[in-house]
Amino acid sequence: MNQKQKIIFFDCYQTLVDISIDKEDQKINEQKGWEVFVSLLRKNYGINISASDFISFLDQRKVNFYAGKDKTIYHHDLRAIIAEVLEKDLRHSLSGEVVSSFIYEYRKVSRGYAKLHHPKVIEVLATLSENYILSIASYTQSSFTQLELEELGIAKYFSYFVFSSDIGFRKESGEFYKKCLEVVGKGSGDCVMVGDNYREDVLIPSRLGINTIWIKNPGVDLPATEASAVVNLEEFERLPEVVAEILETN
């Protein structure tokens, strides 16, 4: 098979993108984020609701979504659930694009601005995209991650974007990676998954026969016996040669 037809799946956070979360201030920042969200509803569409009331509606819609579902397997779509709150609880209908833009403003306040996880991320992606097809494969909400990738200037290197919120399955479910293979239309042997979470990015895809490269962040110490290869974050620029060694032998 032509190398350009082979696929590299990338995890997003702590692999390509770094976003700092201060756990002590997380709850406060979440509240502030939703206050920004409802202020945008009020300012742009005259929808008057407090942040606490909006959160209550949102939490109930999440409860409804997960009723009878295993939370370790399924994943909700925040944009769709917010649309439900707007339509069914607040009697307003907004476009998905508008909802996503408001979610992104919430995200920037609640989690902070994203940045590249390594200085060579753009250079590495540019090199890999010349020889392989790249796809995001991430446990996240597409409503803000897509915008973060675009803002960071790296979305253009990807041909596919597989987000857990869009397909409805968490990475912990083997269904996530089955869907990834279905989306790109390739067999597992023609793909490699690159990510920092050893269980979700190495163990689970390996069971489906997907090649894996574990990005080892500082301070993490695991045997990594199931990974096809290990790349320390400090050596991220080595990724193209490691990928070539794996995929060119298949």
Phi-psi region of 33 (alpha: psi -120 to 50; beta: other; left: phi over 0): alpha
Q: pLDDT at position 250, please?
A: 65
Q: Within this chain, do residues 103 and 169 fall inside the same structural domain, yes or no?
A: no
Number of residues written out for the chain: 250
Helix, coil or strand: residue 116: strand
Q: Within this chain, do residues 68 and 137 fall inside the same structural domain, yes or no?
A: no
Model confidence band, residue 137 (pLDDT cutoffs 50, 70, 90): very high
pLDDT tens across 95-119, in order? 999 999 999 999 999 887 789 999 9
Q: Within this chain, do residues 216 and 126 fall inside the same structural domain, yes or no?
A: yes
Which residues constitute the domain of residue 43?
26-110
Q: pLDDT at position 71, please?
A: 93
Q: Could you give the CA distance from residue 86 to residue 92 in angstroms, rounded to a whole number?
A: 5
Tokens matching residue 34: 């939703």
pLDDT tens across 4-33, in order? 789 999 999 999 999 766 666 778 889 999
Q: Within this chain, do residues 99 and 32 fall inside the same structural domain, yes or no?
A: yes
Residues 229, 230, 234, 235: what is their CA dihedral angle, to the nearest 10 degrees? -20
- Examine the pLDDT at 1 and tell me if it is beyond 90: no
Alpha carbon of 43 to those of 24, 56, 99: distances in Å? 30, 21, 14
Q: How many structural domains is the chain composed of?
A: 2
Q: pLDDT at position 3, please?
A: 63
pLDDT tens across 74-99, in order? 999 999 999 999 999 999 999 999 99
Lowest mean pLDDT among 47-56, 111-120, 137-146: 111-120
- Examine the pLDDT at 39 and tell me if it is beyond 60: yes
Lowest mean pLDDT among 2-11, 123-132, 152-161, 174-183: 2-11
Amino acid at 36: V
Q: Within this chain, do residues 70 and 173 fall inside the same structural domain, yes or no?
A: no
Q: Within this chain, do residues 11 and 36 fall inside the same structural domain, yes or no?
A: no
Q: Within this chain, do residues 189 and 142 fall inside the same structural domain, yes or no?
A: yes
Q: Within this chain, do residues 212 and 95 fall inside the same structural domain, yes or no?
A: no
pLDDT tens across 210-222, in order? 999 999 998 887 7
- The domain boundary, picked from 110, 129, 164, lies at 110
CATH of the domain at 128: 3.40.50.1000
Q: Within this chain, do residues 104 and 159 fall inside the same structural domain, yes or no?
A: no
CA angle 99/181/179 to nearest 5° reads 45
Q: Within this chain, do residues 158 and 83 fall inside the same structural domain, yes or no?
A: no
Amino acid at 140: T
Q: pLDDT at position 113, please?
A: 77
- The domain boundary, picked from 95, 110, 125, lies at 110
- The domain boundary, picked from 110, 141, 157, lies at 110
Q: pLDDT at position 5, please?
A: 87
pTM of the model: 0.93
Q: Within this chain, do residues 11 and 51 fall inside the same structural domain, yes or no?
A: no
- Examine the pLDDT at 134 and tell me if it is beyond 70: yes
Q: Within this chain, do residues 96 and 137 fall inside the same structural domain, yes or no?
A: no
Contacts of 25 (CB under 8 A, 6+ apart): none
